[in-house]
Structure 1
Amino acid sequence: MSPEQYAAAKIVFLKAMGLPADQRDAMCKVEAGSDPDVLNEVRTLLKHHNDASLLKTMVPTSVPTPLVDTDELPRTMDSVEPPGSPISRQSGGVSRIDVVDDRSASDLETRMNASTRQFLRQRMMIAVTVLTLVLIAIRFGALILGDPARDNAVRFGLVFILVSVLLFLKFKQNVSLRTLRILVAIVIAMPMLEVIEIQIQECEDLALAGRLVEIPVLMLSIHLVTALLISLYSTFLPSTWKRTAIVTTLMALTPSLVAWIQGSVSESLVDARMVPFAGPLLTTLTAAVATAGAHFVHRMRLEAEDARSYGQYRLLEEIGRGGMGVVYRAEHRMLKRPAAIKLIHSESAAQENEIKQFEQEVQISATLTHWNTVQIYDYGTTEAGDFFYVMEYLEGETLAERLRRERIRRERPLNESEMKAIALQLCDGLAEAHAKGMIHRDLKPANIFLANIGGQSNVVKIVDFGLAVVVSDDMRVRAAGTPGYMSPEQITGGTLDGRSDIYAIGCVMYECLTGQSVFPSSRLHEVLQSHLFKIPDFNDLDSIAPAFRPVVQKCLAKQPDDRFDNVSELRRCLADA
């Protein structure tokens, strides 16, 4: 298949995902035309989606209307909120999907084995290299001290085996996990054979020299070296706790067992104290600690591997963290499309209203398709009770970050043309939301992202619809939002419409041009009272951006009827300014 055909197949696949399952194949046949390769590729993608998707059990429910926010406290600046769950776009609205996490034990075990195979191969290469160098150093030292050549030949044979294992691992990339386990046994056996050989030889030498009293000290040293090898095994070579228990127990018992056998068969060692109490105690405790550590590490790796995969998305790196969750950069497994996943753990979302807020944010955001609003791909809840949703991954910075950076470089953050470009895009993005009866209620620089998309910079993306509501005529909602950007009617819990967001746009434009908030104060009650009763100081705008003073002033009118009727009217005035 050519790159052009594959690109066409991806486009058809994405179109098909917006249709009910029973209508997808017919649409694919029409869209693919007479190209069977494209049709087959689309069907393959759809099959993979059905097999790997988290969206197995769907219980659709319509979007609540109206969605009334339940937050009683004002939202603070720059709060970071992670996840909710996946979405399904169907005709008639967005569905809530209760997701059964079908990452089965067999699937997780397969991914865990693949991870273990790669990890074990890398660790074994390090361990074999270290052991080989140590054994070579010991052997050369033995040669210098006049060790018998016959024994050295045997020991160099051990080094030869280790070097062979190292070369095999280096040039053989796809090694099965079973083969790696066998190689682990060989690698562990090599230094243990060396220790046993030294133990037997040194005990015989001390017995022949009549220095039986020194044998307990030698055995304690042997047990100490064995404990070190047990620690190295559990540290360098990952395994399950059962396998670790078996291997480390054998290693811990080997010196004592060899000493008992040697003392039984050698007449010169009959009267020697071959196994001092401290030696076996040391190796046994080390084996127990190694087994417990292996159990903990294996469980953590299993949880980490499980957590790094959400349906068709693989987590790549953490890009943000807040008080209740984490944001990750992720990638679609088949389409290789970058995405951001907001994840909130169930223990963090203990209150029911918090859970509803996350679902509400996703449901509202998912119905918006405008270029200037962040796009939602999926949302869902895993069996573990964790909420998440998948949205487009954006590269760039928030307007708040831009303003902070520009204040350092120049007297005022943005010039008229920069502010105008951002405000126009805000109007474009909000026009769709307002047409659907949605009020954002939390427009502020921290929720305005300036993205780099398709070679274009400073593309405005409106994010965080966590406080958004779908309003009806004369509907009153509770006060919520960020105090520095709340309209008077929002503060008092009055009737809201799109003009409340226009007030927030006025606050943002004022800050972009002057470098300070409309009512700068560190006291919450002073900020709220100023929004209710105080007229902003527009004198700075006369010298900085006189053409925009009437626009900003009208946006910040206390009475909604004195503001622009809608964002379309505001946009026209901005374009003419």
Structure 2
Amino acid sequence: MHRAPPTARSGADSPPRRAHTVGFRMPPDASAPVRTTGELEERLRRRLRVTSVIWACATAVIAATAVATRVEELRADPVTFWTEPPLPGVLLLVSLLTAGVVWSLSPRRRLGLARLRAIEWLGVGMTAAFFAVNQTRALGSMLPELLGKPMELGVAQGAPWGTLIVAYGVLIPSSLRHAAGRTAVIAACAFVPELLLLPGADGPVRGVASYLALKTIMIGVMSALALYGSYRIEALGQDAEAARELGQYLLRRMLGEGGMGRVYLAEHRFLRRPCAVKLIRADQAGDEAALARFEREVQSAAGLTHPNTVQIYDYGQSEDGTFYFAMEYLPGVSLDDLVERHGPLEPARAVRVLAQLCGALHEAHARGLVHRDLKPGNVMLCERGGVQDVAKLLDFGLVGALQADAAADPRITQAGMIMGTPAFMSPEQCMGDADVTPASDIYSVGALGYFLLTGAAPFSGCGAVQTIVAHVNRTPRPITELRPDVPAALSDVIARCLAKQPSERFADAASLERALVHALGPTDRAEDGRRW
């Protein structure tokens, strides 16, 4: 269920907050756990495969044990391999057939729900038939013993059927109605040996009432346990799925954790589209300022359409109050990881990445937004639509608006509060200036470019406080001193971005993009992402 998040402001004079309109909206009851045919098919396939493996191994072990303990008898009369309980020949054949079923249930084969149910019922039928034949032959020789030990025989004959009923009830996912039908069929088959043998017995068999009563009680108790176990397992499975759901998104695994919250790989339940879902951290769930920043992050990024800005799909709040938004999943590598693994980038590749970021920032700045947290970890390189080395700008979690109405809420960005990543912050950010301008992002682009070309931030190797002081007072070493192969024009562009005074930097992101491109020679400009 999607609900608009509560406003971060409080008090009677707070203006109403406009409800967000990002993404589609489902009816209120759509948040209830829904199991699609594909999910049920996959769960049934896995359970059938596990059951088949267990049954194939069990029958093979029983057959091998029967042969090992009756070697002399089998040599004297090989026919008993197929005719005498526990029918080792039949067990071996069943084991081989079940191994074939295991192969047919491979994840690479799409059988469909109907075929999987047919395999389930085929397994029930074959197993019940084997039990019935085996017990019919065994019971024929045991009828005289009913006189002396009817209760022991009742338990012994009922136990295999009870085990079969419980195994299917626990291992095979089913609705309560389906499990009851399956249990009833197996329980009915359990009395086939008695129906075949007792009516043809010579005279009344003493002890038969006690025998049947014990067998019935055994099967009845096991059936009740199987039905309850099947119901509870199904209910717990639905609870577990519901616990991993947010609206119509099913969380798969955690991808990472940032200052605002965790990011999970998720999948839309109906569209089957992979996406990344970001949740606000639990320890900030009661912080109105954090909630305001979280909501602003979504609303800011959702209005951006540049191909180098991460796309926002949806946004909402779960029934337990968890805030989340879904964005495009970007399988790739962050600039942080790229430089750590492979070292500094070639100048042409660094310019290609920075130019893409300038395009994304130009759109954001034109809408009155400042990112505030440009850093290597917030830029992903990935392949999109067959194009390599596509840069995606992430995490508008610290985004600030330039409009007067946004600045009116001090909870979002308070004067004197330092927000950002010290190694890539502008001097005005370092001094706690709440009224940062797009020039702050220009500085951060310069710091990011310095990192890509040298493998280190402009001021590295010192603590956060020293780094902040350095951004305000020191000038970083020229890139050409650290890497002579970098064109001097490109080094000068980065140095201008890192000017202490905002007025000395590039006027806007578009101007910076043009300067970056012109700093390279004609050959380098023609490079594309496939080279790297």
TM-score bin, normalised by smaller chain: 0.5 to 0.7
Distance in 2 (alpha carbons) for counterparts of 1:271 and 1:395: 68
Deviation at 1:362, TM superposition (A): 1.7
Distance in 1 (alpha carbons) for counterparts of 2:454 and 2:111: 64
Which of 342, 365, 388 matches 2:301? 365
Distance in 1 (alpha carbons) for counterparts of 2:312 and 2:42: 34
Deviation at 1:451, TM superposition (A): 2.5
Which of 421, 429, 450 matches 1:490? 429
- SS in structure 1 of the partner of residue 484 of structure 2: helix
Distance in 2 (alpha carbons) for counterparts of 1:572 and 1:118: 52
Aligned residue number for residue 13 of structure 1: none
Distance in 1 (alpha carbons) for counterparts of 2:427 and 2:135: 84
Conserved in 2, the CA contact under 8 Å of 1:486 and 1:504?
yes
TM-score scaled to structure 2, two decimals?
0.67
| RMSD, aligned CA | 5.5
- SS in structure 1 of the partner of residue 309 of structure 2: coil
Distance in 1 (alpha carbons) for counterparts of 2:113 and 2:29: 28
What does 1:185-264 align with in structure 2 at a 5 Å threshold?
186=125, 189-194=128-133, 196-197=135-136, 200-204=139-143, 206=145, 212=148, 221-222=156-157, 224-241=159-176, 244=179
Deviation at 1:372, TM superposition (A): 1.9
Q: Which residue type is aligned with residue 569 of structure 1?
A: S
Deviation at 1:525, TM superposition (A): 2.5
Conserved in 1, the CA contact under 8 Å of 2:316 and 2:324?
yes
- SS in structure 2 of the partner of residue 175 of structure 1: helix
Q: 1:370 to 1:395 in 2, by over 3 A?
A: same
Distance in 1 (alpha carbons) for counterparts of 2:368 and 2:358: 15
Q: Which residue type is aligned with residue 458 of structure 1?
A: D
- SS in structure 2 of the partner of residue 108 of structure 1: coil
What does 1:485-564 align with in structure 2 at a 5 Å threshold?
485-494=424-433, 495-521=435-461, 523-538=463-478, 540-541=481-482, 543-545=484-486, 546-564=488-506
Deviation at 1:219, TM superposition (A): 5.4
Which of 360, 370, 375 matches 1:439? 370
Q: 1:368 to 1:151 in 2, by over 3 A?
A: closer
Q: Which residue type is aligned with residue 543 of structure 1?
A: P
Q: 1:266 to 1:503 in 2, by over 3 A?
A: farther
Q: Which residue type is aligned with residue 239 of structure 1?
A: S
Number of aligned pairs? Answer: 471
Distance in 1 (alpha carbons) for counterparts of 2:296 and 2:381: 24
Distance in 2 (alpha carbons) for counterparts of 1:532 and 1:339: 43
Q: 1:219 to 1:500 in 2, by over 3 A?
A: same
Distance in 2 (alpha carbons) for counterparts of 1:318 and 1:129: 28
Q: 1:144 to 1:235 in 2, by over 3 A?
A: farther
Aligned residue number for residue 292 of structure 2: 356
**1:228-263 deviation digits (Å, cap 9, x = unpaired):** 32342134422235764786699799989999x98x
**1:149-180 deviation digits (Å, cap 9, x = unpaired):** 79999x98xx99xx9xx99x999967399978
What does 1:395-406 align with in structure 2 at a 5 Å threshold?
395-406=331-342
Deviation at 1:465, TM superposition (A): 0.9
Conserved in 1, the CA contact under 8 Å of 2:250 and 2:269?
no
**1:478-536 deviation digits (Å, cap 9, x = unpaired):** 32112221122213321200111112112111111111122223633333333233332
Conserved in 2, the CA contact under 8 Å of 1:124 and 1:184?
no
Aligned residue number for residue 481 of structure 1: 420
Conserved in 1, the CA contact under 8 Å of 2:451 and 2:458?
yes
Aligned residue number for residue 16 of structure 2: none
Q: Which residue type is aligned with residue 328 of structure 1?
A: L
- SS in structure 2 of the partner of residue 484 of structure 1: helix
Distance in 2 (alpha carbons) for counterparts of 1:60 and 1:355: 8
Deviation at 1:365, TM superposition (A): 0.9
Distance in 2 (alpha carbons) for counterparts of 1:98 and 1:349: 26
Do structure 1's residue 459 and structure 2's residue 390 form an aligned pair?
yes
What does 1:302-381 align with in structure 2 at a 5 Å threshold?
302=238, 318=253, 320-322=255-257, 324-328=261-265, 330=267, 340-344=275-279, 350-351=285-286, 352-381=288-317
Distance in 2 (alpha carbons) for counterparts of 1:484 and 1:281: 74
Conserved in 1, the CA contact under 8 Å of 2:146 and 2:153?
no
Q: 1:321 to 1:291 in 2, by over 3 A?
A: farther
Conserved in 2, the CA contact under 8 Å of 1:332 and 1:339?
no
Q: 1:121 to 1:566 in 2, by over 3 A?
A: closer
What does 1:176-187 align with in structure 2 at a 5 Å threshold?
186=125
Distance in 1 (alpha carbons) for counterparts of 2:232 and 2:280: 21
Structure 1: 5+ residue stretches without partners: 1-53, 65-85, 89-94, 408-412
**1:172-192 deviation digits (Å, cap 9, x = unpaired):** 967399978876764564355
- SS in structure 2 of the partner of residue 543 of structure 1: coil
Distance in 1 (alpha carbons) for counterparts of 2:83 and 2:274: 64
Distance in 1 (alpha carbons) for counterparts of 2:23 and 2:47: 45
Deviation at 1:444, TM superposition (A): 0.6
**1:283-314 deviation digits (Å, cap 9, x = unpaired):** 78866664454234313544577789988x88
Conserved in 1, the CA contact under 8 Å of 2:454 and 2:482?
yes
Do structure 1's residue 391 and structure 2's residue 327 form an aligned pair?
yes
Which of 558, 563, 566 matches 2:508? 566
Q: Which residue type is aligned with residue 255 of structure 2?
A: G
Deviation at 1:220, TM superposition (A): 5.4
Which of 425, 430, 438 matches 2:356? 425
Deviation at 1:437, TM superposition (A): 1.4
Conserved in 2, the CA contact under 8 Å of 1:439 and 1:468?
yes
- SS in structure 1 of the partner of residue 495 of structure 2: helix
Structure 2: 5+ residue stretches without partners: 10-18, 408-413, 520-532
TM-score scaled to structure 1, two decimals?
0.63
Distance in 2 (alpha carbons) for counterparts of 1:128 and 1:448: 47
- SS in structure 1 of the partner of residue 476 of structure 2: coil
Percent identity reads 28
Q: 1:117 to 1:442 in 2, by over 3 A?
A: closer
Conserved in 2, the CA contact under 8 Å of 1:487 and 1:504?
yes
Deviation at 1:439, TM superposition (A): 0.6
Distance in 1 (alpha carbons) for counterparts of 2:302 and 2:466: 36
Distance in 2 (alpha carbons) for counterparts of 1:236 and 1:465: 46
